[in-house]
Amino acid sequence: MNNLVFENVSLKFGGITAINNVSFEVIPGRLFAIIGPNGAGKTSIFNCISGIYRPTEGQIKFGDNHLNLLRPDEIANLGIARTFQNIELFENMTVLDNILIGAHRHLDYGPISSLIFSKKVRNIEVEARKRAEDIIDFLEIEQFRYSYIMSLPYGVQKRVELGRALAMDPEILLLDEPAAGMNNEETEDIARFIIDIHEEMKKTIILVDHDMNMVMDIAQEVMVLNFGEKLAQDEPKKIVTNEKVINAYLGGGS
């Protein structure tokens, strides 16, 4: 298991600074949350970790790997999976097929083996199918197994996207606004699944969300951003009484 180290990272777009000299470390097995007002730089941090953006300054390390130097697919193959704030599923495919796509990094065979559908290919495909079915059961979406994404309620689509990320069997799971747009019941469900993923599957999770109640209930450690800068990092009960954090959220103070 590897630590994720975000070291003095800055990200600039022309004259705009999205992230300003931010550092933090996530040790294996933690449920780590990043919060902050809109535009604070939360998703930009995820985009840097997953290789969509390259930092202007600083280093991002995952074990001995320098993520700054790697493509998004290479980062995914290291065991870093993510969901997105806006759902990024294949609408004309079924729930099962979308989740199977997440297992691609475990499909260790070439085009010739695939064409002749060798025993190795069959065994790998069976294992991928089993993993997908287990995830479907875990997320309680059995009734939607063969449903097309476009026909599903928003909350179910969010679970499917979570399932696709889990199918990668990642070391670190990046969850970008998993409860966004959900009602109270759906938020409670997704929070329960996140806790189960953390405790039962032993996954390291980095969570970004605006639902403060959910974050403070489930996170072990919270980092607060404001205008691209790190404002505080501590356990949830200390974060909620931090004056700088209160001022950033309520707009008071200096």
Predicted confidence (pLDDT) at residue 252 exceeds the cutoff of 70: no
The answer to whether residues 61 and 177 belong to one domain is yes
Domain closes at, from 139, 168, 197: 168
CB 176 within 8 A of CB 208: yes
Tokens of 244: 């700088």
Q: What are phi and psi of 120, to 5 degrees?
A: -60, -45
CA distance 90 to 121: 24
The answer to whether residues 178 and 252 belong to one domain is yes
Domain closes at, from 168, 195, 226: 168
The answer to whether residues 209 and 95 belong to one domain is no
More confident residue, 245 or 33: 33
Domains of the chain: total:
2
The phi-psi region of residue 14 (left if phi > 0; otherwise alpha if psi is between -120 and 50; otherwise beta) is left
The answer to whether residues 138 and 174 belong to one domain is no
Domain closes at, from 107, 139, 168: 168
The answer to whether residues 162 and 179 belong to one domain is no
The answer to whether residues 56 and 182 belong to one domain is yes
CATH number of the domain that 239 lies in?
3.40.50.300
Closest by Cα among 94, 103, 104, 178 to 135:
103
Tokens of 135: 């995830």
The answer to whether residues 57 and 183 belong to one domain is yes
Q: Report which residue type is found at 201.
A: M
Q: What is the mean pLDDT of residues 107-126?
A: 65
Tokens of 254: 């200096």
With bands split at pLDDT 50, 70 and 90, how would you rate the model's confidence at 250?
low
CB 172 within 8 A of CB 4: yes
The alpha carbons of the chain give a radius of gyration, in whole angstroms, of 19
Predicted confidence (pLDDT) at residue 253 exceeds the cutoff of 70: no
The answer to whether residues 161 and 177 belong to one domain is no
Domain range for residue 198? 1-79+170-254
Give the pLDDT confidence score for residue 138 in this predicted structure.
Answer: 95
DSSP state of 8: E
The answer to whether residues 178 and 254 belong to one domain is yes
